[in-house]
Amino acid sequence: MKALSYWAKQAGQYNLAQCSSGNISHRLDDGTLLISQTRAWLSHLESNQVARVNLTDGSITNNIQPSGELPLHLAVMRKRPDAKTVLHCQSVSATTLACCERKEIDYNVIIEVPIYIGEVRHIPYFMPGSTELANAVAEASESADIIQLRNHGQVIIGIDYNEVIQKAVFFELACTIILNNHFNYDCIKGEHLKILGGYRK
């Protein structure tokens, strides 16, 4: 729980979540899931604000009320056995693009995107905390580690806390570059993109 608290604060320090807008979870080897408490601020999260949940049936094991996005975290963890950490956040530039009307956005403006992130999926708006949102994110997670949620934010998936924070920070940088250039930007393409993508774990 101390580790989740520490990395939640890191998400806050990198401005990935504003006030109580974000939530973070981590899979344990005993079949349970740690997740930030409902309405908690990631930037101030303490160990006593971390819920422990049975990954199989979603039951709470420590009397801490989990984030309302628990269904989303459970659905991703069940769909992706390789996933250890899931961050749901609202960094400014990335969320701006999540609200954008444009159908196709190429995020490969910096080398870190093909190396560390790969494909980014977009899903339409679903009510927060809903089964529909959880199912849509889980389905998208089969082919992407970052999912843009229309009018909502991002979900970032990784093998540990460090990887998830790094992906979120690099993605926010790419989105900022795209917006600062008013969508008039060059992307890495062709053979170079393929080579860089080959470096990804």
Tell me the C-alpha distance between 6 and 164, whole Å.
13
CA distances from 136 to 72, 142, 157 (A): 9, 10, 14
pLDDT at 95: 98
Q: Where are the domains of the chain?
A: 2-198
The pair of three-digit structure tokens given for residue 78, joined into one six-digit string: 């069940």
pTM of the model: 0.96
The count of other CB atoms within 10 Å of the CB of residue 146 is: 27
Q: For 80-131, what is each residue's pLDDT tens digit?
A: 999 999 999 999 999 999 999 877 899 999 999 999 999 999 999 999 999 9
Phi then psi for residue 137, to 5 deg, are: -65, -45
**Three-state secondary structure call for residue 188:** coil
The pair of three-digit structure tokens given for residue 95, joined into one six-digit string: 């969320």
Residue 115 amino acid letter = I
Tell me the C-alpha distance between 39 and 108, whole Å.
34
- Classify domain 2-198 by CATH architecture: 3-Layer(aba) Sandwich (3.40)
